[in-house]
Amino acid sequence: MGDDLAFLPEHGKYAALLSYRKTEIIYDLTFCFCHRFLRRNDRTIDQMVQAARSGKQNIAEGSQAAKTSKETELKLTNVTRASLEELLIDYQDYLRVRKLRQWEKDSAEALFVRRLGRTPNESYELYREFCETRPGEVVANIALCLIHQANYLLDRQIRRLEIDFVKEGGIRERMMKARRRYRQKEEE
């Protein structure tokens, strides 16, 4: 079968997505945060770690599903966005109930974290020392900055998936187009 008859798109390259790499950092940071600053039997630990994990895992699952379902990819990317919103609120709650300061968007600290977020090949290692040595207030604020960055990327990714779907259609449409091309070739 020639390439002109292929209808399944490439998929599964989630590790190259900046949104995936950012959510992986958020997961690692959240795991560290929860085990450093929350009490062992606090249900919030499981909820926060699972929300962070869901963010990361749903990008991977959606990317894999994209081969046959753009709809599933779009839905799972949105689940990632929703999970991170839940996690964002958990970090805000942590700060609020303890009467700790939440950094303003343009504070020196937030701007510093945003600059770190633009580091090529950004990984958790860039944040590890902060997470392991700074107080909960600082680590929670770093997490908030990273979640805002990830949410921005995910909003753009969702919009791109929407545009791609409108342009290219779903698998049934692509299958029909490939079938028509095959028939045309047979007739020639």
Domain boundaries, the chain: 10-168
pLDDT greater than 70 at residue 35: yes
Number of neighbouring beta carbons within 10 Å of residue 101: 12
Q: Report the C-alpha gap between 16 and 101 in whole angstroms.
A: 34
Q: pLDDT tens, 14-33?
A: 888 999 999 999 999 999 99
Question: CA 93: distance to chain centroid?
Answer: 21
How confident is the prediction for the chain on average, in pLDDT?
A: 89
111-117: long-range pairs with CB below 8 Å, 24+: 113/141, 113/142, 113/145, 113/146, 114/145, 114/149, 117/22, 117/145, 117/146, 117/149
Token representation of residue 101: 């300061």
Q: Taking a C-beta distance cutoff of 8 angstroms, is the pair 30, 83 a contact?
A: no
Q: What is the pLDDT of residue 181?
A: 76
Query: What mean pLDDT do residues 130-156 have?
Result: 97
Percentage with pLDDT > 90 across the chain: 69
pLDDT greater than 70 at residue 78: yes
Q: Taking a C-beta distance cutoff of 8 angstroms, is the pair 24, 16 a contact?
A: no
Q: What is the pLDDT of residue 34?
A: 97
Token representation of residue 164: 């791609």
Of 6-10, 46-50, 85-89, give the lowest mean pLDDT range.
Answer: 6-10
Q: Is 39 exposed, middle or buried (0-12, 13-18, 19+ CB in 10 A)?
A: exposed
pLDDT greater than 80 at residue 2: no
Query: What mean pLDDT do residues 90-112 have?
Result: 97
Phi/psi for 175 (5° steps) reads -65, -45
Q: Report the C-alpha gap between 28 and 154 in whole angstroms.
A: 19
Instruction: Identify the CA nearest to 20 among candidates 153, 169, 137.
Output: 153
More confident position, 3 or 160: 160
Collapsing DSSP to helix, strand or coil, 126 comes out as: helix
Q: Report the C-alpha gap between 60 and 25 in whole angstroms.
A: 14
- The per-residue DSSP string of 80-118 comes to HHHHHHHHHHHHHHHHHHTTPPPPPTTSHHHHHHHHHTT
Q: Report the C-alpha gap between 99 and 162 in whole angstroms.
A: 40
